[in-house]
A and B are shown apart, each in its own frame.
Chain A
């Protein structure tokens, strides 16, 4: 008897552990993300402090009026004569023109362009050693043919001092000799993972800014006795609004702010994962406590019979929940600090960022959130079982412990009501435009309604699903067991449902976007081959030599070509994407551009075309005059010659060829072409690729490749959904283990009986496994169905963005269902082994 009690207690501990584990997981995410972002944040602070320590005052071109962030800055420069002018100002000891611009792409020894996961690939002018930069080896560049690489780049490119390297800049590929290696203060290989090529002063401007006699900034050193703030004000007053003058401290603060907001976004994503696992954790704990309360009915009734108050009963259950919550939070916090540290370390060493980590710290938000969330979640989960426990009648102490089937009527009615309400809100949300949040709220309500309906669905659904798996007596018994307690089955299945619904929803949206893009491209993209960089709509797309265009045109088998220069401009003071097209009629054919106003044939030298949406937004018509300021040159007044629609992937503004010379990058970013069909398609493609051998960032794709590239921006979402999937399945496995362990324990007698009348160990295990698989598949089915619904609801709110096709991700759904089944098998391992070990004699001893 004592042994049985001990066993029971041990088993109960395991059970509490399992249910606490989901909370542990959630808290780990919460505290881990706080630790990670805090550590990274302080690391970035250190980095910027270092980076700007040599800068007292800096002059840069002013960004467009309408924007405050540097992101949309047009790549332009500070004229070189400004340096002399500033140098002569009173209070200025020295003024140095510096160039430091993203976009120096080194071709590594393997022939591939060296890439990073975010940090810049800077090209700079060598201005000598200073507090920040030092030569580690070799010497400074002596002429335009020589470069110095930072140590990180040297390593990444796999080259050595003395080697020749190809570098892509605003100019087509050029080859340089590496004459030196530079490092930064403290012997760092890199500043925050940035790769840097330092060119000789004589070529840096042309390579990195596209013209001579410009700098990206001017560093100003105040004379002795002059404060940076005062010098800044003087310089600012002297130069006017065309330039932005800031102190090093200000620049550092801006950089910090940008980094912090990036980290906030990152933190948000991690916290969303945490929310999912905590949500599921609530279900797990709820389930555990419901079962515990059911098992302890007699004990609790006895407590009441002996004079215990309802409050005491509730207290005893809630106390247990708090203990679980606190314990889980403590464990989760510990794991979170570990995980956060590990991730920060991975980020700095493996993430290709080379960020030097500041010491690991635990921000106070981490423990506060950990314990707050841990305790709150377990208490929320325990409330309903505790209330139920308090309602146990005293008489239950005297009756057989059998828990009567509680009616599902109430919960089913509530579920139906909530689902109906949700559906109504959803419908209303769709009917009035501009209210996607309304539709969203409806979808969430409908989902909650469905959650409440799961117990009612459990019995019929499970018995149908069971048919697939229930071969043999063991399978039959497992199937019956899975339908035994619909509430328990429902809650267990729900743990899987929530996660799978989220992922299926995400994938439905992605599949719909894919399908919509595919439909659109199939209808509107007539080019046979598209030559472009990997990110077709980026502000700074990779470019290539315009001379390639004519060579492509003269290839055998090429019917028509249209080249595009993609860039940024300020139009009426607002930043805008623009394109210059070499042959508008050809492009109009290949990308289905239709004119709705005016004519588009030729833009001459002073006419532009604008797409219909932009025209509507800005009330423009054929004949309107717009002021256009390009990266260089004076503002121009151009006449709108045409308004167009369609134009797959074409910028909203088409400019005349005359502006090419004033673009930041006067290089082609893309060529579309059609083939005659006389020469085999693959031969043409190979010929075009050969012509672009010197531009490794440019790829030649057919229409399928183009579609892939259009949707590749969602790859990150796909990765995230996979992480989410793993998390959801992991937690669901915990949930199923938990439920099965409880069921096996409850059915010791029955299991013993079955063993006595001849059920073998193998059959016993199969029986438990079938039960687990059925419950899991039920959960996965609920998840895929509701997830598809949620996804479809989300897609409908995206109609305005051109996502019009709702696609069901069938292959994913099949995958998730099989994963659900696999999760069931895995979850069943321990409980099944335990069931198989049931001593037959336990079944028949009554003492």
Chain B
């Protein structure tokens, strides 16, 4: 089953690969306290695709995402993002990589409380000392539907609106990849659905590569592709999944684990 997943990705065209992980291991701690969070993960994500990483709690989803995004260092293996080899970069290189090639959306605490929605959206560009293209900026804002809220500060926005601001912030610099870690984990289902639709739209209409970590089958069903992780390894994947199919696979995994 593991090798099957690798075969599937390997068969896809290399030219359109946004991010590639090869034999990635991640070990936390040492001795008694040693935890192997990732065990030889191989993964390729196509450009413009919306991928969900699914798996039971503790299966290593977050760890994988952190490693892919250069937030955490891998114990072994290689990660290449676009044309950059992430593994081996030092703080300066990683900072630049995050600034120029990666966007992030987290579960919460996504926004800087002192800045307005618009300032938050511009922040990565401001930090990099660049100006967003006005047309693109307008398009993104229209897509996330926040035109009326640009002057508001985070505490004046609902959770769903805050996540949409975070999406816009991730989209505006046109990063190679956007990583989203449980972006709807803190939202009610209605607000969550809005954010997920927005992510799907960003991938389909704006061509944005998106990697989303979730444990919610309904959320995963919005993705083009779902990669299943169990105990630090990729066990299987689904394409154009329905929520039911994801749920069934999850149950299967739980049963295997249990």
Q: Are A and B physically bound partners? A: yes
A: residues with CB less than 8 A from B are 402, 472-474, 476-477, 480-481, 483-484, 749-750, 753-761, 763, 840-841, 843-844, 846
Q: Which residues of chain B come closer than 8 Å to A754, judged between CB atoms?
A: 112, 123, 127
Chain B: interface size category: 20 to 34
Residue among B107, B114, B128 making CB contact with A758, cutoff 8 Å: B128
Contact A484-B114, Cβ < 8 Å, known A756-B104, A758-B98: yes
B109→A472 contact, CB < 8 A: no
CA distance A474 to B128 in the complex (A): 10
CB nearest to A754 among chain B residues: B112
Query: B113 near A: Cβ within 8 Å?
Result: yes
B112→A758 contact, CB < 8 A: no
Residue among B72, B92, B112, B124 making CB contact with A750, cutoff 8 Å: B112
CA distance A384 to B200 in the complex (A): 53
A840→B71 contact, CB < 8 A: yes
Contacts beyond the supplied A484-B114, A760-B95: 9 A-B pairs with Cβ under 8 Å? A480-B114, A753-B112, A756-B71, A756-B98, A757-B124, A757-B127, A759-B99, A761-B91, A844-B106
Chain B nearest CB, measured from A79 CB (Å) = 87
B99→A757 contact, CB < 8 A: yes
A755→B109 contact, CB < 8 A: no
Among A472, A474, A757, A844, the one with the most B-chain Cβ atoms within 10 Å of its Cβ is: A757
B123→A757 contact, CB < 8 A: yes
A761→B95 contact, CB < 8 A: yes
Query: B49 near A: Cβ within 8 Å?
Result: no
A841→B66 contact, CB < 8 A: yes
**A-B CB proximity, top 6 nearest:** A758-B99, A480-B114, A473-B126, A473-B127, A760-B95, A844-B106
Of residues 154 through 183 on chain B, the ones whose CB sits less than 8 Å from some CB of chain A are 155, 169, 181
B109→A758 contact, CB < 8 A: no
CB nearest to A752 among chain B residues: B109
19 contacts between A and B (CB under 8 A): A480-B114, A481-B114, A484-B114, A750-B113, A753-B109, A756-B98, A756-B104, A757-B123, A757-B124, A757-B169, A758-B124, A760-B92, A761-B91, A761-B92, A761-B95, A840-B71, A843-B106, A844-B107, A844-B109
Q: Which residues of chain B come closer than 8 Å to A755, judged between CB atoms?
A: 95
Among A402, A481, A755, A760, the one with the most B-chain Cβ atoms within 10 Å of its Cβ is: A760
Q: Which residues of chain B come closer than 8 Å to A472, judged between CB atoms?
A: 129
CB nearest to B120 among chain A residues: A757
CA distance A755 to B113 in the complex (A): 15
Q: Which residues of chain A come closer than 8 Å to B99, judged between CB atoms?
A: 757-760
Query: B138 near A: Cβ within 8 Å?
Result: no
CA distance A761 to B126 in the complex (A): 15
Q: Which residues of chain B come closer than 8 Å to A481, judged between CB atoms?
A: 114
Residue among A474, A480, A843 making CB contact with B109, cutoff 8 Å: A843
Q: Which residues of chain B come closer than 8 Å to A484, judged between CB atoms?
A: 114
Chain A nearest CB, measured from B172 CB (Å) = 11
Query: B115 near A: Cβ within 8 Å?
Result: yes
CB nearest to A402 among chain B residues: B155
Chain A nearest CB, measured from B52 CB (Å) = 18
Query: B194 near A: Cβ within 8 Å?
Result: no
CB nearest to B115 among chain A residues: A480
CB nearest to A757 among chain B residues: B124
Query: B110 near A: Cβ within 8 Å?
Result: yes
Contact A758-B127, Cβ < 8 Å, known A753-B112, A844-B181: yes
Query: B100 near A: Cβ within 8 Å?
Result: yes
CB nearest to A753 among chain B residues: B109
Contact A846-B92, Cβ < 8 Å, known A473-B126, A473-B127, A473-B129: no
